[in-house]
Amino acid sequence: MKRVFVSGGSGYIAMYCIKILLNKGYQVITSVRKQEKINLVKDSLSKNSINYDNLEFCILDLLEDDGWDDALKNCDFAIHMASPVIPGDVDYDMLVKPAFEGMKRCLNSAIKNDVKKFVLTSSFAAIYGNSKTEYDDNDWTDLSDKTHMPYVISKTKAEKGMWDIIENSKSEIDACAINPVLVLGPSMTGILSMSNRLTIKKLFKLPFIPNLSVSVVGVNDVADAHIMAMESVDSKGKRFLLSEKTINLAELCKILRNSGFNKVPSFKIPNLILKFIAFFTPSLKMIAKRIGTHEKLHTINANEILNWYPKSVDKEIVDSAKQLYSEGLLKN
């Protein structure tokens, strides 16, 4: 039985990856930050009728060396997913340092233990940070632009760091990076993911619809891509941009209204008025730059190497809203 290490096992996407791995017959060891997260993972798997007899746990800290070498011992594969997700202009060390150092500890332990394949959960944030509106797997965020939020910097530095370590080491380890856009869909643990919090929940609080578009993908498809990349013999050295579609917020609101969520906004604010408001509102200035733009994304590697073709994300958008409503986090 092949053994897979998954860091950050209680995380949003990680739970779906663990579900797939266990259903496929892998032995899985996953890390969590605190003891109480172990019960959360077990309870969530039980609620989804997933047998976790082949699941082991360990407690690891992204900023501490202890335990990483032991956790990756005898593993065939490693999927490094653990990384802080905090929106906004937060302290640099809260995001960038643990993201980079956690990646380094996991990768170095994987190399030390002769792990065959290392899969890093990166992000579209490591791709889109420039002035373009069309992107593919080969694009990189320009870190010389000092306006980037710490989250963007953290994902870009962590992924660049992975490629640098592999290039400078004598290891034969295969590695690849998964770069999803905004991931939507319900959480297996019931804990609201940041991506759903920043989109679905926030939409219900808006008095109007700005002329903005966002690229989205379903959480099940993102988890599938991780396992496909892990198992593929052709994924070495590749990045996999994942997106199902780019959707205007007005269309997103329409999907929710058609499913009975009537409190999403229906009034579209003119671009000129929003830009005027943003001029006096610092928190809206970054949004104002994207007014009226529509990204065009090319998921070439995922399509051609992994044969990954995502399902429509519409159902996962609605399922996210239903979960938020059932937990009292949305009013309709």
| Topology of the domain covering 3-185+216-244+295-310 | Rossmann fold (3.40.50)
Q: Which two tokens stand for residue 302?
A: 């995922």
CB 173 within 8 A of CB 110: yes
* Amino acid 109: pLDDT: 98
3-state secondary structure of 41: helix
What are residue 179's DSSP bridge partners?
241
CA distances from 251 to 67, 84, 257, 290 (A): 47, 30, 10, 17
* Amino acid 171: pLDDT: 86
Q: What is the DSSP string of 48-67?
A: TT---TTEEEEE--TT--TT
Q: Which regions of the chain are under pLDDT 50?
A: none
Question: Cα(74)–Cα(71) distance, rounded to whole angstroms?
Answer: 9
Answer left, alpha or beta for residue 174, where phi above 0 means left and psi between -120 and 50 means alpha: beta
CA dihedral 318, 323, 326, 328 (to 10 degrees): -110
CB 332 within 8 A of CB 203: no
* Cβ count near 324 (within 10 Å): 22
| Radius of gyration for the alpha carbons in the chain, expressed in angstroms and rounded | 20
* Amino acid 273: pLDDT: 64
CB 124 within 8 A of CB 243: yes
